[in-house]
Amino acid sequence: MSKFRHISNEDIVSIVRELDKWAMGELGSKLTWQILVDKFGFSRQALQAKSEVKAAYDNAKQALSGGLVKSKKQTEDEYQKVLIELERTKIELENYKQKEQLWLRRWQQIAFNIRQKGIQVSDIDKGADCSDDELPSKNETSKILRPFDKEIPPSGRV
């Protein structure tokens, strides 16, 4: 008498479901027939004889060997690295936003001082040493400089 029992349709569904989890990397990166034999109690030959099980096993092995699937630890490590990078990027973005605000305030002050002398900012912005390809068009320049023609908000200084 054999120590292995007969594989039912419910067993096949359960084994295939388990192999799909392997294919998704949920159960680690090492899969062997012996693992399935130990887990489900069927011989390797019996498992391989079922086409659905064989196809699911081959699919899982291919996913695991092709580097398509990462182990849970690899995924968690990558997730932590991405979180750290995201936080660093958020801080960097906030720094750039602050610098931009300071830059805008500085140019508003410059524009104000230029206008105090009776000159328009657009009159000053001529004759740069850059080629025309590197500079924005007159229309783009006008849009960029338009905020500087507005009244400068009062500063906190007395």
Summary count for the chain: helices (H), strands (E):
7, 0
Structure tokens at 72: 């849970």
- pLDDT, tens digit, 9 for 90 and up, residues 118-143: 887 777 766 655 555 676 777 877 77
Q: Where are the domains of the chain?
A: 9-65, 72-149
Residue 71 backbone dihedrals phi, psi, to 5 degrees: -70, 165
The number of residues making up the chain comes to 158
Give the distance between the most distant pair of CA atoms in the chain.
107
- pLDDT, tens digit, 9 for 90 and up, residues 31-74: 899 999 999 999 999 999 999 999 999 988 888 887 666 666 77
Whether the pTM exceeds 0.85: the reply is: no
